[in-house]
Chains A and B, each alone.
Chain A
Amino acid sequence: MTCQYDRGMLSRYLDNELFAPDRQAVEAHLEECSDCRSLVEQYRDGAGAIQRYLQAVPATAALRRPAVPVSQRWAVAAIAACVLLATVTVGVATETGSRLVDLVTNVSVRLLSPEDSQAFEERQTSGAERPPSPFSAFKSIDEAEEAAGFRLPRPDFIPEGYYLEEARVSQLSGADSLHVSITYRQGMSPTRLEVILVRTSARMIIQAPAEATETVLVSGQEAQLINGLWMQRPGEETQFYPEGGRRLIFTWDGGPAEVKSVTAMGSGLPILPAEELIRVAESFR
């Protein structure tokens, strides 16, 4: 092959990324030059081979849709085993304008993936078996209750249009903590209602700006209403967004419980008013 024609141009021609005059110039050259015609043929041949190379991959039965835990904002106090967990420091809020509802510690547990990246890497290099997923999703509260091993609420009242999507039980490896999240959805809308219960020997902290927090009554008991959610966008610090959701944190059956209304950031979709959340919480049976 001796022709020195610009191969970058041939490549862009193949990708259909040339404007008309350049394309016509390439086509005119190809008419005359058998070297370049053969080159283009080889590029096409290679592309087809790569396509078939990908298509030859058989499906694997080992793939499972990952379970993604819903709440990442529960902070669990440091207990001895906590060092095994992927931890992030949320920091004790000392600046004015923030208050801790229940301050214990500055260590939180992230409910992210079944393995942190270090464990993943170690397993990859040692060839160890994949651990069982610590997350399980169920289609009914009864099944989730059996997996969780403690009593779960069945709210008598759920706002109109919402249906039970799933109940998820997450176990935090290294900590004796169980996190149950029962999700109700409205069709395909990103708005959801969540009922969350955590059972742990550690104490939890919940941190929110004072102006977003108010004390309300649930069945005559004091509860915390938080108007807003913590969110972290890529490349940004965690921030409190007042419009993304509303949380009601109260005590049920001797442990912490939460009812939360969340929607997608920036969707402009309404979240449930405080009265509805309180109604759901008061209907726990």
Chain B
Amino acid sequence: MESINAGWPMAQSEAALWDIYSHRVYRYLLRLTGERETAEDLTQETFLQAIRDGRRGQELPAHEAAWLFRIATNRARDLFRRRRLIAWLPFHSDRHAPTVADHAESLAEQEAVAQALSKLSRDDAAMLLLREGEGFSSKEIAAMFGLDYMVARQRLSRARERFRAEYTRMKEDHR
């Protein structure tokens, strides 16, 4: 599969970093948490940390997108850890109002994706969003989750299989 990260410009400044990546990081966090405000807050925290790391002159990975999504993923995981008592109600609690472009078919598809992802563990769902949605390689995803490449590879394959089974079933149910 073609990587959709290819050709992303390297941000040359903090403002550019924000302009290029803020929406991508936000939509990932929104799909991961299902809560708009939480996603907004986490996005800002992510950039706050990224900008501070950058200013400190800390060694940054060559691929800035992977670095940002790693921070975002860790922020979300920290939050879930802290909010252990709050139920994990992801994915469909923040459906936006339909627009003209949203015909019934695409809404049904979104619903099916949301339902299928909600059957996965949070980390597995995050991995799939990063791999299929954002185009990160399994090596990059392994680094984001602090996993050995082979372990991440295996989890990704299993998550993909689980998602496929659920998603296919959801789609058939909707028919």
Give chain A's interface residues, CB within 8 Å of chain B.
7-8, 11-12, 14-17, 39, 42-47, 49-60, 62-66, 68, 70, 112-113, 117, 120-121, 124-125, 130, 188, 190, 231-234, 244, 263-267
Kindly state whether residue B131 has any CB partner on chain A within 8 Å.
yes
Minimum CB–CB distance for B149 against chain A, Å: 10
| Also in contact, A46 and B27, with CB within 8 A (given A15-B138, A56-B106, A65-B18) | no
Minimum CB–CB distance for A27 against chain B, Å: 15
Closest to A67 in B: B48
Contacts of B23 in A (CB 8 A): 57, 59, 63
Give chain B's interface residues, CB within 8 Å of chain A.
1, 4, 12-15, 18, 22-23, 26-28, 30-31, 36-38, 40-41, 43-45, 47-48, 51-53, 55-59, 79, 82-83, 86, 96, 99, 102, 106, 109-110, 112-114, 116-117, 128-129, 131-134, 137-138, 153-154, 156-157, 160-161, 163-164, 167-168
| Also in contact, A130 and B43, with CB within 8 A (given A16-B1, A68-B55) | no
**B110 contacts A53, CB within 8 Å?**
yes
Interchain residue pairs with CB less than 8 A apart (18): A7-B161, A15-B137, A43-B164, A46-B116, A52-B109, A56-B110, A57-B96, A63-B22, A63-B26, A63-B43, A66-B47, A70-B55, A121-B83, A125-B83, A130-B41, A188-B12, A265-B58, A267-B57
Cross-interface CB contact of A54 among B15, B27, B153, cutoff 8 Å = B27
Q: Secondary structure at chain B's binding surface: helix, strand, loop or mixed?
A: helix
Minimum CB–CB distance for B131 against chain A, Å: 7
Minimum CB–CB distance for B69 against chain A, Å: 12
A188 to B54, CA, bound (A): 13
A257 to B26, CA, bound (A): 38
Closest to B38 in A: A124
How many A-B Cβ pairs are below 8 Å? Answer: 152
Cross-interface CB contact of B57 among A68, A125, A265, cutoff 8 Å = A265
A213 to B26, CA, bound (A): 45
Contacts of B109 in A (CB 8 A): 49, 52-53
Minimum CB–CB distance for A226 against chain B, Å: 18
A190 to B54, CA, bound (A): 10
